[in-house]
Amino acid sequence: MIPTLPFGRTNHSSTRTIFGAAAFWDTPQKDVDATMDLILQNGVNHVDTASSYGKSEQLLGDWIRRHGRPFFLATKTGERTKQAAYDQIRRSLDLLHVDQVDMIQLHALHEEPDWTTAFGPGGVIEAVVQARNEGLVRFIGVTGHGVPVPEFHLRSLEQFDFDAVLLPYSYVMMQNPGYAENFNRLAALCKERNIAVQTIKTITRSPWNEVHQDRTTWYRPLEQQADIDLAVHWALGNPQVFLNTAGDINILPRVLDAAHRFETRPTDEQMNELVLRLKMQPLFV
């Protein structure tokens, strides 16, 4: 059974593996339907999508239109100004065939010009607060990629009381001392304020580099079950975090299988052996 954890202050107990619907970028509807059956059979009760994930909202919305919404539903807006973001939120609701999403997130807020606009007059913060006041969304989160993102999230939390954050987390990424220090500072603040911590890119093997790209993830993922087990179990070994699944429906069953069998965190020796054997590299430097 996949373990659950209170998702911050939302009063929702989410499975610690959250389904990352970036996997539905341009997926045939029949495969979307089969994947949704799979996540429900595995007890997953939290789905995360975004307006910028290709056809994800539309495809997921078609399933919701036919089956309802038996899970916590989150989406994201990448707009930085009030009106554009508000319009995008309304469009997301239409595509998803819902009157309300559980959480709207500010997508990829990890660059200075975007951050300044978002929190300035007429910025996206005003749109998400309006959407929450109107009952279109219940909670508000912020996401980001790259080495600077924990610092940006810390700054964002000084400006606004977000309900959740999302950022990269893997054994390889945490070997960057600066990133690890800022991630841990962010995690401590989130624990103090009861803010959910979602993690991404956990099963990254490396950038694609010269390797033929044969997965729908934008990084080269781990492939073998035993290797995925180590990466997933290492992340879940941090009792505070949620793990957002990789954006490939064919790898998804292996991630879920690993989550079901989580007991303890692998040792540093086991993780170092994995890194050396597969020549793993950080996705962000």
DSSP 127-146: HHHHHHHTTSEEEEEEE--S
Question: What global pTM score does this model have?
Answer: 0.98
Indicate whether 47 belongs to any domain. yes
* Average pLDDT score over residue span 193-217: 95
Residues 214, 220, 226, 229, Cα dihedral to 10°: -120
Indicate whether 258 belongs to any domain. yes
Count of domains forming the chain: 1
Indicate whether 284 belongs to any domain. no
> Does the pLDDT value for residue 135 go beyond 90?
yes
Question: Domain range for residue 111?
Answer: 4-278
Residue 106, strand partner residues: 77, 142
Indicate whether 140 belongs to any domain. yes
Q: How many CB atoms lie within 10 A of CB 263?
A: 7
Indicate whether 105 belongs to any domain. yes
Predicted local distance difference test score (pLDDT) of residue 93: 98
pLDDT tens column, 67-114: 999 999 999 999 999 999 999 999 999 999 999 999 999 999 999 999
Q: Which of 197, 156, 148, 209 is nearest to 173 (CA)?
A: 148
CATH number, residue 238? 3.20.20.100
* Average pLDDT score over residue span 55-78: 98
* Average pLDDT score over residue span 233-257: 98
The average confidence (pLDDT) of the chain is 97
Q: How confident is the model at residue 210 (pLDDT cuts 50, 70, 90)?
A: confident
Residue 167, strand partner residues: 199
* Average pLDDT score over residue span 144-154: 97
Indicate whether 283 belongs to any domain. no
* Average pLDDT score over residue span 213-238: 96
* Average pLDDT score over residue span 143-148: 97
Indicate whether 285 belongs to any domain. no
